[in-house]
Amino acid sequence: MPDTLPHLPWLRSFEAAARRLNFTLAAEEIGLTQAAVSQQIKSLEQELGVSLFRRGRRGVELSAEGAAYLPHVQAAFAGLAHSTAELFGGAHGTELRLVTPASFGALWLAPRLAAFSAAVPGVTLAISTMTQPGDYAAAGADLEIRFGTGGWPGLQAHRLTTELMTPVASPAIAQSNWQELPLLTVRGAREMWRDWFRMAGSPGPARPFHSVDTFVVALEAAKAGAGVLLGSRPLIDGALRRGELLRLSPLELPSPNGHFLAYRAEDARGPAHRAAVDWFMREAGRPSSPPTV
């Protein structure tokens, strides 16, 4: 029933604040004051009869009700954005929205954008980077680059890369005894140093770990000589070719993770979408008509 739908501005403020977990950043994103966002969320909570956030001295976090509500709000906004673009977009289907992890966007996709333009004329990419899983639903993109092992419900997903992990360092420190240098580690799926040392038959000497949450930051730190990175191929291949990094061992640890091109089945009908998918698969050395994962 229409009278049960909360005001859309309230929902917009809730989605932005829930995604960023910061009312001030949400206000900057949607062009309101922090007070206005706070008031709109308070009005939404009053209408729903629940608290969507837990507020404390260190900031805000989602309540159980807010966490349950967020994906539904994001899915609704994504569907509305997609329908609007399909029906009224000025590019008439030639612009494709793509969301990607920053590492893949910077290290794999950006160097290939000129090749994309040459191979798929008349189609442009509107690229956004994600920092949290909820960013995918919020973006409502035509194409998604996802990192993992595949199998996302509701999406067709085709593998682009298979990770191989190998130790690398800058030329400035590569000639040192790298067993004594600090290790750079990426929190999450790429924290595989112990697995690499186990494969190499070494317990892994105790030493400092510098820990970051994004691979791009770890890569820049490695190039600057901050320590040894367990580099992810093919993302480090460009730095290896340019001599910015050197391999410290021939051993490569296979990872179950990789990058996948994912999209909803209903988005795959148009020729621009199909041409873009074929290009990604060719660039990744995969079949042009890939099997569904």
Kindly list the domain boundaries of the chain, sorted by start residue.
Answer: 2-74, 89-162+258-283, 164-254
Confidence band (pLDDT; 50, 70, 90) for 91? very low
**pLDDT for residue 52 is more than 80:** yes
Q: C-alpha angle with apex 8: 6 to 12, nearest 5 degrees?
A: 115
User: What's the chain's Rg over C-alpha atoms?
Assistant: 22
Q: What integer is the mean pLDDT of 2-25?
A: 88
Question: Alpha carbon 38 to chain centroid distance?
Answer: 28
Q: For residue 106, give the DSSP letter.
A: I
**pLDDT for residue 90 is more than 60:** no
**How, if at all, do strands 124-130 and 95-101 pair?**
parallel
Check residue 81 and give its pLDDT. Answer: 76
Instruction: Write down the architecture of domain 2-74 according to CATH.
Output: Orthogonal Bundle (1.10)
Check residue 3 and give its pLDDT. Answer: 60
Domain at 89-162+258-283, CATH homologous superfamily: Periplasmic binding protein-like II (3.40.190.10)
**pLDDT for residue 92 is more than 70:** no
202-259 per-position pLDDT tens digit: 877 667 788 888 899 999 999 999 999 999 999 999 999 999 999 999 999 998 889 9
Q: What integer is the mean pLDDT of 131-157?
A: 84
pTM above 0.75, yes or no: no
Neighbours of 79 (CB within 10 A): 12
Instruction: Write down the architecture of domain 164-254 according to CATH.
Output: 3-Layer(aba) Sandwich (3.40)
**Residue 203, preceding bond cis, omega within 30 degrees?**
no
Same CATH topology for 2-74 and 89-162+258-283: the answer is no
- Report the candidate in 151, 153, 157, 141 with the shortest Cα–Cα distance to residue 99: 141
Query: φ, ψ for residue 157 (rounded to 5)?
Result: -135, 130
Check residue 146 and give its pLDDT. Answer: 93
**Are 111 and 103 in contact, with CB atoms under 8 Å apart?**
no
